[in-house]
Structure 1
Amino acid sequence: MVVAPGRIGRTTAAVVVALIGASPVAAAPVSVAPVSIAPLAVTPDAAGPAAGRYIVRLVDVAETETRRIGVERSSPSVRAGERRARQHAVADAAGVGIERSFSLTMNGFTAELSAAQAAALRADPRVADLEPDRISHVQAAPSAEALNLSGYGGVWDRLGGASAAGEGVVIGVLDSGIAPENPSFAGDALSSSPGDEPYRDGDEIVYRKADGGEFRGRCEAGEQFDADDCSQTLVGARAFLDGIDTAELGDADVGEYRSPRDGSGHGSHTAAIAAGRPTTARVAEQSQQIAGVAPAAKIAAYKVCWSGPDPSSTGDDACPSSAIIAGVEQAVADGVNVINYSVGAPPEKGVALSAVDEAFLGASNAGVFVAAAAGNGGPRSGGVSNTAPWVTTVAASVGELDQATVRLSPTQAMPGSSVSVPESGTLSGPLQLAPFIGDGKRAINCAPGSLRPDDTDGAVVVCERRGSDSIEAMADEVARAGGVALVALNVDERPTEVGESAVPTVNLPVRYRTSMKRAAAQGDPVATIERGNTTSMPAPAPGTIRSDSSRGPAQGAAADVLKPDVAAPGTGIFSATANASGERPAAAAMSGTSMAAPHIAGLAALVLGREPRTSPAAIKSALVSTADPAHRPDGD
């Protein structure tokens, strides 16, 4: 599917209203042949494949059965048992031991191979592709009002209220796990009596879905996670360590657990955006009422992303392809309706279809809608992730952000974004440009250790934000040196950010850069930080695409597909985060396409709660054809 660039914009209620009218979307079904693709392998090196861990994909028998879009789930012509038998025959011929078999969404297996075994499999005509087990990463760098969900006449109101929005639908979240105690996931205890609400059947959790089928999941016990942590809201929790060297895995001391418990906060955050229950979240000095897009939908967590031992770096974190595919297989087998995938890596050169792409094709053929993050590689073109045409690839836009004002005089003030100004409303201090009170150029962006405490104590410090600079790290340095507040000054057209910080922080857009630097360099200015926008200047227009949101067009072998498909709020999103067992549940503000994708997953759940047999393609079509156009940073 190709989407006109001008239609990639902020999603509104229209995407759902288009599908909840009087006429069901699937009223006129179409009969088509399910997609069956022979993947294009990477050109082998002259020296042959190296030893390592691989995903081995087999040539499948062509699928000839037809299905009615939006009415019947596709039925694979090759049964899972036959696929497994073929996999074992191929593996035995090469003397290979299968680690995990994939027979539902694709025909393949994972295995640790010697160079000779890899060469033998690559030469076997029954093998379609031999793909090294790749490492992907989470894509983070609820908006009920921005999406017109709440209030009279909003989508929730039209669906019978928030308590009914998404009812009968299960969203599978492939991510870093979940914090079950968070109030966003609050739910009644599971009983053993069959009924309309989820119930236990032995070790399984059963839920009768709106489409007439059953979800059958499990709540796997493990480190700081009990089988009783699931509920009538959280109906499944599993963990997949495929492709992970457990010796290099973080432990509870750094916030990682060998269980479905969330190690980084990312998985809880995305799950609550998609389907969190209404609650109050407090981040820094701000409190907000939050709720997921589909607050009546059920959540099943599939932990495929793991944190390494260094909590200060994401370089040792990993989401292996083998774990991701195992999670997709299990989610489809369990019976989820929607998958959120806020994970990704740019396509590899020469690969038209990765093993993860093929797994999502199998999920789509089974009637499962997949929302996937576009990645945070912007503003350059061509860095978009998750480019398969059967997934809905989501860019990140800027929604309504909390505001604060930096006032220099009764007539000179500059509004920006902030959630950290105290409830008392104001604070003041001498305004200082970082290079003047620190180590010259190194202090421009308040790099760690660059500010002199003797000159910084009590000051409101102006630091320039460029490239990958972290506002949180800037605030840490200002706090270390004794500053009372940070003014983070954008040097390009990127959107402003909000989040927790060690000192009260205001992020100003680039249009104030020159006037702020000029004011700070003259005389002895005093800056007062005021809560809210106390000027007559308008707030940044919502719907602007984030500067770091990955752009299309898709590159390499996937260059004939225009991506991303649609954008959704992905800046300063308040939602759940991680906590250890027994600790107080927490919330955080995060930004990125990781936060945008679950908004789309939640919208898909709203559609399926009302029209349960709507196909993934029909949902995607409604989303991309009814979204608002995006705004430029100047608001046009």
Structure 2
Amino acid sequence: MGFLGLRKIISNEFISRITYVHANVYYGIRFTPPPPKGVYTEHKVYKLLTTHSQRWLGFRRGLIPGMWVDKEYGRGIIIAIIDTGITPTHPSFHDQNIPPPSKKWKGGAFNNKILLLKKYYEEDLAIVDLHGHGTHVASIAGGNFVHDANVFKQVSGTASGTAPYASLTIYQTTLWDKFDELHPKYIEAITDAADDGADLINLSVAWDSNIGLQENTIELGAFYATSKGILVCCAAGNDGPRSSTLCNAAPWILTVGAGNMDRVVRATITLGNTKIVFGECLNQPDTFPNLSFPVVYGNEARVDHNYFKGKIVFFDRGLFSSHEAATKRYKMIKSRVVAFIEPNSDLTGYSMFDTYRDITTARVNYKDGLLIRDYIDSASCPTATLTFYGTIYGVDTPPDVASFSGRGPSKIHKGIIKPDVIAPGVEILGANFEYKKNAQLFRVSSGTSYACPHVTGLAALIKKSHPTWSPAMIKSAIMTTAYSVKRNGEPIKDEQMVKASLYSIGSGHINPVKAIDPGIVFDVRIHDYIAYLLGLGYKKKDLCIMLKREVNDAKGIEGPELNLPSFCLQLRPGETKTYERTGENVGKPNSAYVVKVISETKGVKVDVVPQQLKFSKLNQKIKFQVSFKLDNGINWKSTNVVEGSIALVSSSHTVTMPFLIEVIRGKMKTWNKK
């Protein structure tokens, strides 16, 4: 396909030159739209970020730009986005304040923000986003500053990505209706991104978590990128909250789950019996009448959909397939319903996120949904009034895990705690690919797809600060500085409002300010990952073919033996297992760390030798052993899972390593691919 395919989507006014076109790769597309309203220079004071996510992560506090200034907003770092493409003319992708890339970039002439557009399918379609997913993701990772952003006049402020001055390379591997056909292209796209000169790779795509390495193109591609010194960040998938629903679980991948933030778009529902229910609703039109309307169920099969006209519909979409629910909603909207109330299911519990924006829809948690049901069933003429309160910041209960966020353990990569971390993934504002069509520059959506680019952007800032760090060191910095206790002193919780397991949050919620300066990092070399694969039962000759590299004689190891900043092991009562870790000092030259062990379960003994790590210089490495033992005198059950953490504490740093012990009775489970 030549330039004409792209030209159908992008008008001439947005393109001043195209240097050359080769194979389905568009280099040097120079996008020069007029500067978006409110685009800032680096010397200006910034306002509140839209969607709150970057400010929530600590990039700005009040009117202070914060750590962005020190890390030059990611300037000079290249992030590869492997997704559904991009809408390159969106104001989020202007290149003001972004310098030309360094000599490592292997492309031709370029726009400083979007360096490359490449597709991996044969259809005669332009390399632009036909779905919106990739555009949204790219803007979260590296979107530039755009002022006056909002969605339905909510979550207003200044929009930007986590690394706003980083450059992007776009690899379009996904047509939404042909994912199964195109998934083999992921290894090609990841390889290309690594060879083209990317510093980080973002993959907000989930693939079958239960397939072996020989079929998993994402894990194979990520292994190649890791061997080239490039960290790959992947979404954990949206099939939670059930266990073992997580994807992208290989230990060389940074796997990201989703949590919420301290912001809600509040609506209240006042029932006819005067009871008030709190909900969330993004679409809050100014013209919505503050009146009482009849409330009816929307789940019954009705031939006459005019029955719903002028009413508030209580609609439990969990009773239908996605297609059936969408069809029913569409027919009811056509009949001019006033609004919808949608309850969570018992599975999604208290995890709140707005799903539909086509019409005013108030989302309520499972318990409040039952309360509304009881009222409708008991009242002869049930009514309700919706009242809107707009965007509210500073809610003290988050972050908690989103119900949809994929959970461990992996059925393939056991002996590894996954996800690695969680990040904001609920109602995240990002660039709208159809902004010309519907005059809405931004949109809001939820998913681990949108949590992942927050972490990729953070990794870009770490890479900017520490250019020689390996992928494992960057990943370690993000993990050991994450937190599992919220600002209100409570642990991070799941959708049922109980303490979230490590298989839900990994090391915890990311803490970018601390991740830049973690004190100690843990590195993993590529041959250690190969030893791990041998420990899973793969043969050397098969690994040579799959990994396309020599596999020297090596002893297989299990997951807990990798030099990761976490421990995941199986243990019988009375048994002791010991593992070695090597920490590298990246904090102060002369620093001492004392060991603190935290476990809420009696009968668990954790010993760390030595009890104090004394560093005398930067980059010094110290080995230490960690032993785990379960008291044989306790009546352990095979269903018991013991969780805790080991903290290495100095005067200026706290390095946290979580541990998870599966209690085994009887025959030990085998941790291999078979």
Structure 2 length-normalised TM: 0.59
Q: 2:286 aligns with which of 407, 416, 423?
A: 423
Q: 1:197 aligns with which of 92, 95, 99?
A: 99
Deviation at 1:525, TM superposition (A): 3.5
The aligned runs of 1:241-260 (5 Å cut-off) are 241=121, 246=123, 258-260=125-127
Deviation at 1:451, TM superposition (A): 7.2
Q: 2:410 aligns with which of 551, 554, 569?
A: 554
Q: 2:104 aligns with which of 211, 214, 238?
A: 214
Paired residues of 1:421 and 1:530 also in contact (CA < 8 A): no
Deviation at 1:148, TM superposition (A): 1.8
Q: 1:459 aligns with which of 311, 314, 317?
A: 311
Output the CA distance in 1 between the equivalents of 2:208 and 2:190.
19
**Which residue identity does 2:53 align to in structure 1?**
S
Output the CA distance in 2 between the equivalents of 1:145 and 1:428.
36
Deviation at 1:175, TM superposition (A): 0.3
> Which position in structure 2 is the counterpart of 1:68?
none
The aligned runs of 1:589-604 (5 Å cut-off) are 589-604=444-459
Deviation at 1:410, TM superposition (A): 9.3
Is the deviation greater in 450-459 or in 349-358?
Answer: 349-358
Paired residues of 1:451 and 1:478 also in contact (CA < 8 A): no
Q: 2:225 aligns with which of 356, 363, 367?
A: 363
> Which position in structure 2 is the counterpart of 1:291?
160
Output the CA distance in 2 between the equivalents of 1:321 and 1:267.
15
Deviation at 1:273, TM superposition (A): 0.7
- Supply the RMSD in Å over aligned alpha carbons: 3.3
**Which residue identity does 1:514 align to in structure 2?**
L
> Which position in structure 2 is the counterpart of 1:187?
95
Deviation at 1:514, TM superposition (A): 2.3
Per-residue deviation, residues 269-324 of structure 1 (Å, max 9, x unmatched): 0000111112243334535232111111111111111134xxxxxxx445623321
Q: 1:524 aligns with which of 378, 381, 385?
A: 381
- 1:335 aligns to 2:197 (yes or no): yes
Deviation at 1:469, TM superposition (A): 5.9
> Which position in structure 1 is the counterpart of 2:610?
none
**Which residue identity does 1:358 align to in structure 2?**
L
Output the CA distance in 1 between the equivalents of 2:331 and 2:442.
23
Structure 1 length-normalised TM: 0.62
Deviation at 1:427, TM superposition (A): 3.7
Deviation at 1:453, TM superposition (A): 3.1
- Secondary structure of 1:402's aligned partner: strand
Deviation at 1:386, TM superposition (A): 0.8
**Which residue identity does 1:143 align to in structure 2?**
S
Paired residues of 1:451 and 1:477 also in contact (CA < 8 A): no
The aligned runs of 1:137-536 (5 Å cut-off) are 143-152=53-62, 156-160=65-69, 164-188=72-96, 197-198=99-100, 207-208=101-102, 214-217=104-107, 231-241=111-121, 246=123, 258-279=125-146, 280-286=148-154, 288-289=156-157, 290-308=159-177, 316-318=178-180, 320-351=182-213, 354-399=216-261, 400-408=263-271, 411-424=274-287, 427-434=290-297, 439=300, 442=301, 450=302, 452-466=304-318, 475-492=329-346, 493=349, 495-521=351-377, 522-532=379-389
Paired residues of 1:174 and 1:301 also in contact (CA < 8 A): yes
Deviation at 1:509, TM superposition (A): 0.8
Deviation at 1:476, TM superposition (A): 2.9
Is the deviation greater in 263-272 or in 616-625?
Answer: 616-625
Report how many residues are paired.
Answer: 434
Change (3 A) 1:451 1:269: farther
Deviation at 1:455, TM superposition (A): 2.4
Per-residue deviation, residues 373-413 of structure 1 (Å, max 9, x unmatched): 11112122112111111110111112233221112269521
Paired residues of 1:478 and 1:484 also in contact (CA < 8 A): no
Output the CA distance in 1 between the equivalents of 2:477 and 2:211.
32
Output the CA distance in 2 between the equivalents of 1:605 and 1:258.
31
Change (3 A) 1:499 1:463: closer
Paired residues of 1:166 and 1:609 also in contact (CA < 8 A): yes
Deviation at 1:158, TM superposition (A): 2.7
Q: Which structure has more RCO (C-alpha within 8 Å, separation ≥ 6)?
A: 1
Deviation at 1:347, TM superposition (A): 3.1
Is the deviation greater in 621-630 or in 474-483?
Answer: 474-483
The aligned runs of 1:85-124 (5 Å cut-off) are none
Per-residue deviation, residues 318-376 of structure 1 (Å, max 9, x unmatched): 56233212211221111111100011212344547734322211211211111101111
- Secondary structure of 2:54's aligned partner: coil
Paired residues of 1:568 and 1:599 also in contact (CA < 8 A): yes
**Which residue identity does 1:488 align to in structure 2?**
E
Paired residues of 1:500 and 1:589 also in contact (CA < 8 A): no
**Which residue identity does 2:415 align to in structure 1?**
D
Paired residues of 1:433 and 1:517 also in contact (CA < 8 A): no
Per-residue deviation, residues 68-100 of structure 1 (Å, max 9, x unmatched): xxxxxxxxxxxxxxxxxxxxxxxxxxxxxxx99
Change (3 A) 1:586 1:472: farther
Output the CA distance in 1 between the equivalents of 2:318 and 2:211.
29
Change (3 A) 1:467 1:517: closer
- Secondary structure of 1:497's aligned partner: coil
- Secondary structure of 1:343's aligned partner: coil
Change (3 A) 1:378 1:555: same
- Secondary structure of 2:271's aligned partner: strand
Paired residues of 1:430 and 1:524 also in contact (CA < 8 A): no
**Which residue identity does 1:621 align to in structure 2?**
S
Paired residues of 2:405 and 2:447 also in contact (CA < 8 A): yes
- Secondary structure of 1:553's aligned partner: coil
**Which residue identity does 1:151 align to in structure 2?**
R
Paired residues of 2:78 and 2:198 also in contact (CA < 8 A): yes
- Secondary structure of 1:548's aligned partner: coil
Output the CA distance in 2 between the equivalents of 1:146 and 1:420.
23
Change (3 A) 1:581 1:357: same
- 1:605 aligns to 2:605 (yes or no): no
Paired residues of 2:80 and 2:168 also in contact (CA < 8 A): yes
Change (3 A) 1:422 1:585: closer
The aligned runs of 1:60-71 (5 Å cut-off) are none
- Secondary structure of 1:172's aligned partner: strand
Output the CA distance in 2 between the equivalents of 1:618 and 1:271.
24
Change (3 A) 1:350 1:180: closer
Output the CA distance in 2 between the equivalents of 1:319 and 1:341.
17
- Secondary structure of 1:431's aligned partner: strand
> Which position in structure 2 is the counterpart of 1:134?
none
Change (3 A) 1:338 1:591: same
Output the CA distance in 2 between the equivalents of 1:351 and 1:534.
45
